[in-house]
Amino acid sequence: MTTSPRSPRLSPSARPAGEVRLIGGQWKRSKLAVPDRPGLRPTPDRVRETLFNWLGQDLAGWQVVDAYAGSGALGFEAASRGAARVVLIEHDAMLVHTLLAASQRLGATDRVQVVRADAQAWLRGQPAQAWDLVLLDPPFGLGLDGPALQAARRVIRDDGWIYLESGQPLDETQAAAVGLRLHRHGRAGLVHFHLLTPLAPGVAQEVPR
């Protein structure tokens, strides 16, 4: 969920409605504001529901990064479901202000940190294998955003996960090229969403069969 001047223009029916609701956990049904920003497209409810069904409903103790946070729907959803620490990375100043306000309103400041930064640069500055889950929803104009995927691969634990949302599907060959295995994939309209996990050591360049 992010903004970019390069993102494709949304049709009127696809424009954000002004708010989204968290769908599970401690803050279930709580609303998050969706400012009118170019390209901002919060992850739909049914996609978030599918993702957290894949991950399991209880994320107690998890360390999570929501890169390209946008409205924060993915990151706050993770925190609502018990994640011990969630960092929301966003470069847009207006969205950073909105995320900070939401964190305070939910009483989440002890677990949710909002950082204004470039997502790729921030990930590159993190120690290796420090995170359980990285949520990636880059601007669709960036395609599959290989550099961000590579940066996320480096910082997740061997049993960690990367969620990638994009305007085109990521196949097994592309995933294997950056040391990842495509665990699950779904589609909702124009949105393709993927759950990836590291390949076992020594098979990073092999194509899964």
As for how many domains the chain has, the answer is 1
The predicted structure's pLDDT at residue 36: 81
- Would residue 16 count as lying in a domain? yes
Closest CA to 68 of 8, 125, 142: 142
Q: What is the pLDDT of residues 5-34, one digit of tens each?
A: 333 333 333 444 488 999 999 999 999 999
| 6 lies in some domain | no
Residue 60 domain-assigned (yes or no): yes
- 85 assigned to some structural domain: yes
pLDDT at 6: 33
> What mean pLDDT is predicted for residues 50-58?
93
Q: Give a yes or no: residue 208 inside a domain.
A: no
| DSSP-assigned beta bridge partners for residue 113 | 87
For residue 133, being part of any structural domain is answered with yes
Task: Look up the CATH number of the domain holding residue 89.
Answer: 3.40.50.150
Does some domain include residue 131? yes
Q: Tell me the C-alpha distance between 40 and 21, whole Å.
A: 16
pLDDT, residue 208, reads: 34
Domain holding 187, by residue range, is 12-198
